[in-house]
Amino acid sequence: MKKINTFWNWFQDNNQTIKNLINETPTNQKHISFWINKNLSYYCKEIEFMIVFPKNGNTKSELIITANGNPEYFNQVIDLVDNAPQLKNWKFTAFIQPTERIDEIINGLDDPYIFHEITLKASELTFLPLEYHEKSNKFDIVVFLKNYNLYCDTKTLHQAIFIIMQDIVGEKSLYQNINFVQLAQIPENKEGLIQLYDFQLFLDNLNGVELNNYFLKMWKTVK
């Protein structure tokens, strides 16, 4: 508890400087971010932060504390945020939450994600389940990309898909439900493929289904 209080005391003392981070020079932004991360690491080295700045000056900035999906540090994230101070201009959030722009994604109006030479849109990604693991209650899935053959199976591509999935379903849900993600070129026959933005709906509809037999039937429709 002492380390938690130490972090929040430091944050309160510097919250106006942190809130103004977006208006600073790149050098100052790097300096301020370094000290946020440094003070956070005194509490737990394995968790990180994100800041979401408001589009206008009348709403709160948001500090998101993330374990990068590592369940071993979920409790540290929760404990820290549960003990956050009440600050007028700040909102504190545990874990990366599902996007609120889901309607834009469904309608294909979402902005692309750009990772070095890779450009992807969440609205264009589809998936199929491969296998369900009863012991862990997690799924192996295949995510289909339009330009997979062009990008090849690189570490950067896997990281990009991970970030997009985390934005769609949220940090906790991703690690509670996904065991393994395989990437593949989208087939010519797209019948039966599930939009990635419908992953939560897919989970909600599985109650009472014998999953692995059900998945085999799904694959037959796209072969």
pLDDT at 220 over 70: no
The average pLDDT across 137-166 equals 85
Question: What pLDDT shows up at residue 154?
Answer: 73
Distance CA 102, CA 199 (A): 12
- % pLDDT > 70, the chain: 90
Rg (CA), the chain: 20
In this structure, the number of other CB atoms found within 10 A of the CB of residue 122 comes to 24
The average pLDDT across 153-161 equals 80
Model confidence at 150, pLDDT cuts 50, 70, 90, reads: confident
Question: What pLDDT shows up at residue 210?
Answer: 58
Size of the chain in residues: 223
Question: What pLDDT shows up at residue 214?
Answer: 62
CA 172 to chain centre: 8
pTM over cut 0.75: no
Closest CA to 105 of 205, 201, 195: 195
* Average pLDDT over the chain, rounded to an integer: 87
pLDDT at 155 over 80: no
Domain ranges for the chain, please list them: 1-94, 101-221
Question: What pLDDT shows up at residue 212?
Answer: 60
Model confidence at 38, pLDDT cuts 50, 70, 90, reads: very high
Question: What pLDDT shows up at residue 190?
Answer: 85
Closest CA to 42 of 82, 97, 2: 2
DSSP-derived letter for residue 212 is: H
Question: What pLDDT shows up at residue 182?
Answer: 92
For 88-146, write each residue's pLDDT tens digit. 999 999 988 888 888 889 998 888 887 767 888 999 999 999 988 889 889 999 999 98
For 6-24, write each residue's pLDDT tens digit. 999 999 999 999 999 888 9
Question: What pLDDT shows up at residue 216?
Answer: 62
In this structure, the number of other CB atoms found within 10 A of the CB of residue 73 comes to 18
| Structure-token match 């589009």, residue found | 55
